[in-house]
Structure 1
Amino acid sequence: MPMDDAGAMQAADCIGAHRAPLRILIVSDAWFPQVNGVVRTMSIVTEQLRAGGDTVEVIGPDRFVNVPMPGYAEIRLAIAPGRRLRKLVDAFKPEVVHIATEGPLGWAMRSLCRKRGWPFTTAFHTRFPEYLHARTRIPVAWSWAMMRRFHQAGAGTFAATRSLREELARRGFTKVRAWTRGVDLARFRPEPREPWEGLQRPVFLYAGRVAVEKNIEAFLALDLPGTKVVVGDGPAREGLQKRFPSAHFTGYRDNGKLARSYAGADVFVFPSRTDTFGLVLLEALASGTPVAAFPVTGPLDVITDPRIGALDEDLRAAGLRALEGDRTACRSHAEAWSWEACAAQFRAALVPVVAG
């Protein structure tokens, strides 16, 4: 089981069992209608917690006056959320508070908690320093200092992988806690498979946001046999389509089409160097598709068996080696990752706003 400590394993057995229900407040700048790994993670964990008897309130930017993030219209940013946020919090009367993101809502909730003396937890989902640098050239060191200030004010910062926790510790984060991830094994499975009719095999697939920080250009520029397929949408799609006309872009896919896309690929290519985990890795493996990626945080923690994929600084070499992967082994590896255990681990690490 890909969990780092015995406490996480014990937590998996007790969600909703032998515990009084909690009133859990989650504040997140990433929420519906956004489509990304943070939203997917928090929405599934919320469902699991509610199924276990907890009352969960998620406050996102959809409940405030908001504007599109410059250069990324799909992401909405709450404008001056403090007063309304305070009213929503007081109406809910939380017993625990979790701040999922470091955007306007996250900072406003952090401020409110500090004023009231409420302990809270945070999560490190996204490498904003690298993302900001890619878009604005703001020095990475400045952004890391801001991130450290944000998270150190809390009672604990959740991070998904051992390598990420070790990196955060090196960067001066002192309250890091383990919080793994899961995969929907009923939704993502080896059958049925997208036949990709009309496309030359092998099919090398990328799925996810089509944005500069995902480093998709590194995948599309590879000299690989067969066809490169990109499933997803985002601000970089139009430019990449023009630059790489031989690649096949499908746009956003769901309602079973995404799962069939994974299963129908010969290799899933994950070119990102900045993701903190990469839920798509587990989704591809659950679909029986081996993975090719760089040896960085996320892939290093998930692709731990040469039968399920290849990690290499030469992404082309990784892709060619991954063609030899064992699809049965891929599925078996993914079956060790549970959303139930992920939610239980999250719940066990929360901190009450009032002692006792």
Structure 2
Amino acid sequence: MRVALLAESFLPHMNGVTGSVLHVLRHLAEAGHETLVIAPKSGDVTADLHGARTELLRSVPLPSYPEVRVVFARAARLGALLRDFDPDVVHLASPFVLGWQGLAAADALKIPSVAVYQTDVVAYSQKYGLPHATALVAGHVSRLHRRATLTLAPSSASTRQLEELGVDRIRRWGRGVDAVRFAPEHRDDAWRARIAPNGERIIGYVGRLAPEKQVDDLRTLADLPGTRLVIVGDGPSRPALEKAIPDAVFTGHLGGSQLASTLAGFDVFVHPGESETFGQTIQEALASGVPVVATGVGGPLDLVRSSVDGWLYRPGDLGDLRTRVADLVGDEAKRRAFARAARGSVEGRTWSALTGALIEHYHDAVALRRVDDSLLRRTSPRPAGTATSRTRGQWTRFVALGDSLTEGLCDASRMPSGQFRGWADRLAELLAGTTDQGPFRYANLAVRSRRVRHLIDEQIPAALELKPDLVSILIGANDLVGPAPVLPALVSEVESAVRALRRGGADVLLVTTFLPQRPAARIFARRFAAYNVHLRRIAAEQGAVLLDLEAVGEIGEAPMWADDLVHLSSAGHRLVAYRAAEALGVPDARALLGLDEALHADDAERPSGTWLTRDALPWLWRRVRGRTAGDGVVAKHTGYVELPTRGDRLRADAV
């Protein structure tokens, strides 16, 4: 298989997500699979990536945690990378920001996606003192994993959490452990003598030093008689922890054989975090023959067998934590018995075995994606997903709303002088041509230069009067290229428009905004991307059909844009029309696009004059005068026009 892995975190920053990706790359390569890694760039990568191609994208650090990098990549950019690699499946490692855009790109290309749930970001938002953001984060996690073809959860606790968020198609997939690297025989007695010269029992922790890990809870063990506390790892909490637990040994980050020998040198491993979806360091401690004391919530529930290879203490009860640790450090026979059981518990959890299971999940996702696409063509929704209110393909009253793009400016192919066709007109003909019902009625209320406020004040009321069963909305670009747009206000108005149409019984085709691939357009890219994130959320929450054009890389290419550099060419309008038809379930829409391109090349005359005199100066003059190109312009179809249907043609042929 060809597997594209999108990771929210990557080298040189080492954590659970990065470690899992590296193990998967190794074992996929050994099994003969090809891989591509798309991840944040934060430094030089010198590790062996086992033949994987890499696309490391520009990223920015989180202000409070600079080791964590965030990529704000456009879905179109990711779509181009995926098209070039042509993967069989997209693997999303702990998806959140980059993963969401990658998911949009995979959807646009109809590539199955497997989202691996590794980080409980909902709990993290609470730990970092962001309670007001918790609901937003939970909603984002829910939408992301419901949109993925398949979700892999590492533990029973994380499976329940995802189910409570409304996520379907969940499979269990844990983490492998390197039982050769992590083993009791790596115990280093010389190291132990240096750390505990008086024969103290060593209590150890390995992991990030950050608030969500609750390492501060280890203070309750600092004065436990006959013990020495060792804390392995680094992170933003380290300075405060060193002050709070001055007698502890802080080693900083360890890796390779040094980490293995240190872990094997512990007498008891303690894991206090309550937000773990799995707990890889717990598994590595068990493989090292070290009993574990962990909080009795989340991932540890599936790893630690209480009273067999460790103890699970009551979450938040630090007295119970201290008692459980004291029980093991004070009872040599029990500790040795627990250690033997710990080593035995990891048998069969090798990365080789886990990667074999992962490949089976990939094949499952490929099959499920075929089912989803088939259901879409047959007008049936994916179970537990959003769906339109009627059978797709049975619309008879279509209304298009928006600005110049939907009006059809610059699509003069085979049109009388001064008239334009446009993607919405083309879509209406496609929909009419695939229905046996009739008559098929179509109205286009879009007018050039219109903004979101015009959608609310003018177009929505007019559309509701027409009682449509399908409405398209492509709006917002004119707002976004203006000075200092208020994004929350724009989003709120678009959401209210979609909600009003849905309440009126109409299905809604909601279209994301997009930009040409030109240097001048980059200054608006972040605005457009942020706006589109909200459009995707609105579509998911309101049950609208999403046409995610931002994720279609072709739409930005020069041939898709007219000579004015602002509007779509006829080729661009054709692309949008057929992509919209595909989103609405018109059979073989993409093949029809290729046929249309081959048989109906543009024959419109190129406009005279230069871009400066023909387009730029008139636009600037209108702006200075406070006017727009749409002033005085009336929508091309303020009422319904009837288009011939497939049923009309069949009846005519029968006569």
The TM-score normalised by the length of structure 2 is 0.49
- Alpha-carbon distance between aligned partners in 1 of 2:195 and 2:241, rounded to the nearest angstrom: 21
1:317 maps to which residue?
323
Cα shift at 1:322: 3.5
2:14 maps to which residue?
35
2:343 maps to amino acid: R
Cα shift at 1:193: 1.6
Cα RMSD (Å): 1.8
Q: Which segment drifts farther, 154-163 or 137-146?
A: 137-146
Q: 1:198 to 1:126 in 2, by over 3 A?
A: closer
2:67 maps to which residue?
74
| Residues 1:56 and 2:20 are matched in the alignment | no
| Residues 1:229 and 2:230 are matched in the alignment | yes
| Residues 1:174 and 2:175 are matched in the alignment | no
2:212 maps to which residue?
213
- Alpha-carbon distance between aligned partners in 2 of 1:182 and 1:73, rounded to the nearest angstrom: 28
Kindly indicate whether the alpha-carbon contact (under 8 Å) linking 1:100 and 1:122 is maintained by their aligned counterparts in 2: yes
Where does structure 1 differ by over 6 angstroms across 4 or more consecutive aligned residues? none
- Alpha-carbon distance between aligned partners in 1 of 2:129 and 2:172, rounded to the nearest angstrom: 31
Cα shift at 1:321: 2.9
Q: Which one of 346, 359, 369 corresponds to residue 347 of structure 1?
A: 359
1:166 maps to amino acid: R
1:320 maps to amino acid: A
1:191 maps to which residue?
185
2:202 maps to which residue?
203
Kindly indicate whether the alpha-carbon contact (under 8 Å) linking 2:174 and 2:278 is maintained by their aligned counterparts in 1: no
How many residues are aligned here? 335
Kindly indicate whether the alpha-carbon contact (under 8 Å) linking 2:87 and 2:111 is maintained by their aligned counterparts in 1: no
Measured against aligned partners, the alpha-carbon deviations of 1:252-278 in whole angstroms (never above 9, x if no partner) come to 112311111111111000001001011
Structure 1: give runs of 5+ residues left out of the alignment.
1-21
Q: 1:305 to 1:138 in 2, by over 3 A?
A: closer
1:30 maps to amino acid: S
SS at match of 1:221: helix
| Residues 1:149 and 2:128 are matched in the alignment | no
SS at match of 2:204: strand
SS at match of 1:269: strand
| Residues 1:124 and 2:120 are matched in the alignment | no
1:53 maps to amino acid: G
- Alpha-carbon distance between aligned partners in 2 of 1:164 and 1:66, rounded to the nearest angstrom: 28
Cα shift at 1:305: 5.1
2:295 maps to which residue?
294
Cα shift at 1:171: 2.9
Kindly indicate whether the alpha-carbon contact (under 8 Å) linking 1:310 and 1:322 is maintained by their aligned counterparts in 2: no
Q: 1:23 to 1:129 in 2, by over 3 A?
A: same
2:107 maps to amino acid: R
More helix by percentage: 2
SS at match of 1:60: strand
Structure 2: give runs of 5+ residues left out of the alignment.
42-55, 315-319, 372-655
Cα shift at 1:198: 4.2
Kindly indicate whether the alpha-carbon contact (under 8 Å) linking 1:228 and 1:247 is maintained by their aligned counterparts in 2: yes
Cα shift at 1:247: 1.0
2:481 maps to which residue?
none
The structure whose RCO (Cα within 8 Å, separation 6+) is larger is 1
Kindly indicate whether the alpha-carbon contact (under 8 Å) linking 2:204 and 2:230 is maintained by their aligned counterparts in 1: yes
Cα shift at 1:47: 0.9
Percent identical: 33
Cα shift at 1:316: 1.1
| Residues 1:337 and 2:336 are matched in the alignment | no
1:338 maps to amino acid: T
Cα shift at 1:81: 4.1
- Alpha-carbon distance between aligned partners in 2 of 1:98 and 1:150, rounded to the nearest angstrom: 13
Cα shift at 1:246: 1.0
Kindly indicate whether the alpha-carbon contact (under 8 Å) linking 1:190 and 1:287 is maintained by their aligned counterparts in 2: yes
1:161 maps to which residue?
155
1:45 maps to amino acid: V
Q: Which segment drifts farther, 127-136 or 114-123?
A: 114-123
- Alpha-carbon distance between aligned partners in 2 of 1:172 and 1:23, rounded to the nearest angstrom: 30
SS at match of 1:259: helix
SS at match of 2:131: coil
2:17 maps to amino acid: V
1:216 maps to amino acid: V
- Alpha-carbon distance between aligned partners in 2 of 1:90 and 1:244, rounded to the nearest angstrom: 52
Q: Which segment drifts farther, 198-207 or 289-298?
A: 198-207
| Residues 1:269 and 2:270 are matched in the alignment | yes
Q: Which segment drifts farther, 47-56 or 77-86?
A: 77-86
1:10 maps to which residue?
none
1:259 maps to which residue?
260
Q: Which segment drifts farther, 189-198 or 283-292?
A: 189-198
1:109 maps to amino acid: G
- Alpha-carbon distance between aligned partners in 1 of 2:166 and 2:328, rounded to the nearest angstrom: 36
Q: Which segment drifts farther, 267-276 or 236-245?
A: 236-245
Kindly indicate whether the alpha-carbon contact (under 8 Å) linking 1:220 and 1:228 is maintained by their aligned counterparts in 2: no
2:110 maps to amino acid: G
- Alpha-carbon distance between aligned partners in 1 of 2:168 and 2:97, rounded to the nearest angstrom: 24
Kindly indicate whether the alpha-carbon contact (under 8 Å) linking 1:269 and 1:291 is maintained by their aligned counterparts in 2: yes
SS at match of 1:112: helix
Kindly indicate whether the alpha-carbon contact (under 8 Å) linking 2:9 and 2:39 is maintained by their aligned counterparts in 1: yes
Kindly indicate whether the alpha-carbon contact (under 8 Å) linking 1:64 and 1:81 is maintained by their aligned counterparts in 2: no
Cα shift at 1:217: 0.5
